[in-house]
Amino acid sequence: MTALLNDELGPFTVADWHALPERGDGTRLELLGGHWLVSPPPGGPHQWASTKLIRTLTESMETSGRSDLYVLGGIGVALSTRGRHALIPDFAVLNRPPDATSFRPEDVLLAGEIWSPGNTFSERRAKHDAYADGGIEFFWSIEQDEHGPVELIAYRLGDDGYHVESSADAREGVVRITACPAPLDIDLASLRP
């Protein structure tokens, strides 16, 4: 579940986000349109899916000979000072060594979000648009509803925003995803414990 902090009156800036002390309680504090967005620590199913995706992406990059890319989870990305967006994707592929606290959009080739039932449609849309505005080439949206199959929508950035390149769910078995720095095969059913 994610909520805006009602007692904070924006708009806050990316510089404000950078100046915050590190949070020790596992919550994630993001900046979306100049407003704080706080999320509790991810639950077990969410962490399972994130770990599996990071492992699958890492193996794919290594197999493809892309030792210049780094797959990480939960990193800060200062997307836009103009739009006042600084997000923490659940997983990301970087084109530089992970030697910083947060990264610029040009450092990120792929960003992915694993949605929980508490993520509203407006939050999902705003994050989708923020990643596109930041110029992130690939964006993955993972739906992990406990009542249905795991679903993945993989987007590629075009001149007018993101376009769906792949859309699949766990009932399809192993699927090929090309909206990625190195194409990969993934069994979406493995993203559920």
Tens digits of per-residue pLDDT, 127-164?
999 999 999 999 999 998 877 889 999 999 999 999 99
Q: Within 13 A of 133's CA, how many CA atoms are on the CB side?
A: 19
Per-residue pLDDT, 10: 61
Closest CA to 105 of 76, 82, 128, 72: 76
Strand order in the sheet with 102-103: 3-4, 35-39, 28-32, 85-87, 76-80, 102-103
Q: Tokens standing for 69?
A: 């890319």
Per-residue pLDDT, 148: 80
pLDDT > 90 in the chain, percent: 78
Partnered with residue 38 across adjacent β-strands are 3, 29
Per-residue pLDDT, 145: 80
Architecture of domain 42-191: Alpha-Beta Complex (3.90)
What is the residue-averaged pLDDT of the chain?
Answer: 91
Q: Is 24 exposed, middle or buried (0-12, 13-18, 19+ CB in 10 A)?
A: exposed
Q: Tokens standing for 27?
A: 């919550």
Domain boundaries, the chain: 42-191
Per-residue pLDDT, 7: 40
Q: Which residues, at least 6 apart from 47, have a Cβ–Cβ distance to it below 8 Å?
A: none
pLDDT tens digits, residue range 27-67?
899 999 999 999 998 899 999 999 999 999 999 999 999 99
